[in-house]
Amino acid sequence: MDGNKRYLHETEDEMVAEGEESLQIRQKKKRYTQKFNAAWLSDKIIKEWLEKKDGLPFCKTCKTSLSCARTALVRHCESKAHKESIKMGKEIAVAYKPLTSMFTSKSEPARLEIKTCAFVVEKNLPISMADDMIRFMKSLFPNNDVLQHVSLGKQKSTNLIRQVLGFHCAIESIRKLKDTKFSLIIDETTDCSTTSQLAILATVFCEDSFNLENVLIDLITLENGKAITIFQAVVNSLQEKGIAMENVVGFCADTCNVMFGKNHSVATLLEKQFPWIMTIKCSCHLIHLCSSYAAKNFQNH
């Protein structure tokens, strides 16, 4: 019995010694970390959308960082989300051509129509004035060949403003917001059909004009007016357009409980998930409330 016990103890000691030795060998082995391979940028399968960003592979189409392994890159290339992003990018490229691409030597009437509509929008004039302006110019220059080929009724002016100028301005604005810091301004309203809509605007500093500009990002139809619904709608809209939340530095809205409630509101949700965003109540709305309250007291006295 004593011999068996001694044999068991010796066996256990040998197993422990072997375990410690194998552990030391594993600790001595250095782990290999895959680094970005410059050859991937020439790979036919992934070179179209791949770039190096912060030392990691980055998908220009999906705007996301990827694992440093070719198998992971190929897997991402074959994913449904990546294919849908490529399809959407091609559709946007076709739909939103630069305005200059529409103008050729034979398109002077189109140029005049678009510039007239842009003037109407810039000066906030009634759209029906576009047709009157063209008639007035034709009366001034009856021998002008370009004017004789221009026709600009109310419906055509509306379509040009919405489908040409509107799309072009939206794409230019989104492209600008992708590369600069800005503040968000939102407002929720209900139209005559009792449908809740949310307007999302951005206040951004323009280096060219050296002024602050307000840019419309999106106009969204909401299922309801709850704080979580508005919060998700804002975040999803920016993500769909490829605008990083890191570019948002401020948030402003009216002072209702849904927007700036103490316990659960759009402001508290933003502060919790994106702590760098400064939330500020709209000063214009505050002034309006103060003025209304003061006027009401004057009437009572």
Are 72 and 163 found together in one domain? no
Residues 166 and 211: their CA atoms lie apart, in Å, by: 22
- Position 110 scores a pLDDT of 86
Are 60 and 131 found together in one domain? no
- 259 in a structural domain: yes
- Position 99 scores a pLDDT of 47
Q: CB of 113 within 8 A of CB of 160?
A: yes
φ, ψ (nearest 5 deg) of residue 217: -90, -45
Choose between 245 and 102: higher pLDDT. 245
The string of pLDDT tens digits covering residues 31-76 is 556 778 888 888 888 888 888 887 788 888 777 788 888 888 888 8
The string of pLDDT tens digits covering residues 279-292 is 999 888 888 888 88
Q: Count Cα neighbours of 47 within 13 Å in the Cβ-side half-sphere.
A: 8
Could you tell me the pLDDT band of residue 277, with boundaries at 50, 70 and 90? very high
- 223 in a structural domain: yes
Residues 299 and 47: their CA atoms lie apart, in Å, by: 71
Are 110 and 88 found together in one domain? no
pTM: 0.57
- 194 in a structural domain: yes
The string of pLDDT tens digits covering residues 223-235 is 888 999 999 999 9
The string of pLDDT tens digits covering residues 192-201 is 667 788 999 9
CA dihedral of residues 263, 267, 273, 276 (deg, nearest 10): -130
Are 76 and 165 found together in one domain? no
The string of pLDDT tens digits covering residues 10-28 is 555 555 555 555 555 555 5
- 15 in a structural domain: no
Residues 283 and 148: their CA atoms lie apart, in Å, by: 50
Residues 182 and 205: their CA atoms lie apart, in Å, by: 7
Number of neighbouring beta carbons within 10 Å of residue 178: 13
- 20 in a structural domain: no
- Position 229 scores a pLDDT of 93
Tally the domains of the chain.
Answer: 3
Residues 127 and 157: their CA atoms lie apart, in Å, by: 7
Residues 94 and 85: their CA atoms lie apart, in Å, by: 14
Task: Give me the mean pLDDT over the 248-262 stretch.
Answer: 92
Taking Cα atoms as reference points, which of 279, 277, 276, 275 lies closest to residue 265?
279
Are 284 and 185 found together in one domain? yes
Rounded to the nearest angstrom, the gap between the alpha carbon of residue 291 and the centroid of all alpha carbons in its chain is 36
Q: CA distances (Å), 110 to each of 102, 114, 153, in order?
A: 8, 6, 13
Domain containing 138: what range? 99-171
Q: CB of 35 within 8 A of CB of 68?
A: yes
- Position 301 scores a pLDDT of 67
Boundary residue ending a domain (80, 95, 110) = 95
